[in-house]
């Protein structure tokens, strides 16, 4: 999907822990701190929260739904926190 939207690492880190419930194609109910948000991932990329009012910024709810859909940009950004397998094995054997 082509988007002109900024993905911030701290919001993606929050999104990993947010549970989403798929309602229908590209439509999700996203739970965050006891509040439910409606997220749509069609052309509009909509969330009803205050954060999303800034249209250039992806809120954590949008990112949580994008992760649920296997969005390539979001998944690639997770590499920031996960070391490559070789580096991980080196750290295990050094311990």
Q: Tell whether the torsion through CA atoms of 57, 15, 35 and 22 is positive or negative.
A: positive
| Coil/strand/helix, residue 26 | coil
Report how far residue 71's alpha carbon sits from residue 74's, in angstroms, rounded to the nearest whole number: 6
Which range in 1-9, 14-22, 41-49, 67-75 contacts Zn ion by CB under 5 A?
Answer: 41-49
Which range in 11-19, 20-28, 51-59, 83-91 contacts Zn ion by CB under 5 A?
Answer: 51-59
Q: Pick the binder of Zn ion from 47, 64, 67, 68 (CB under 5 A).
A: 47
Helix H or strand E encompassing 86:
helix 85-94
Q: Pick the binder of Zn ion from 7, 45, 59, 68 (CB under 5 A).
A: 59
Q: Pick the binder of Zn ion from 29, 38, 49, 57 (CB under 5 A).
A: 49
Helix %, strand %, coil % of the chain (to 5): 40, 25, 35
Distance of closest approach, residue 64 Cβ to Zn ion, in angstroms: 9
Report how far residue 74's alpha carbon sits from residue 84's, in angstroms, rounded to the nearest whole number: 17
**Between 47 and 74, CB nearer to Zn ion:** 47
Residues that bind Zn ion (CB under 5 A): 47, 49, 52, 59, 61
């Amino acid at each position: 999907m082509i988007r002109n939207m900024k993905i911030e690492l701290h919001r993606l880190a929050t999104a990993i822990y947010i549970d989403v419930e798929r309602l229908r194609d590209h439509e999700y109910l996203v739970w965050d701190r006891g509040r439910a948000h409606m997220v749509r991932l069609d052309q509009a990329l909509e969330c009803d929260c205050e954060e999303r009012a800034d249209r250039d910024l992806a809120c954590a709810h949008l990112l949580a739904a994008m992760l649920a859909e296997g969005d390539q940009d979001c998944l690639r950004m997770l590499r920031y926190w996960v070391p490559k397998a070789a580096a991980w094995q080196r750290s295990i054997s050094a311990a």
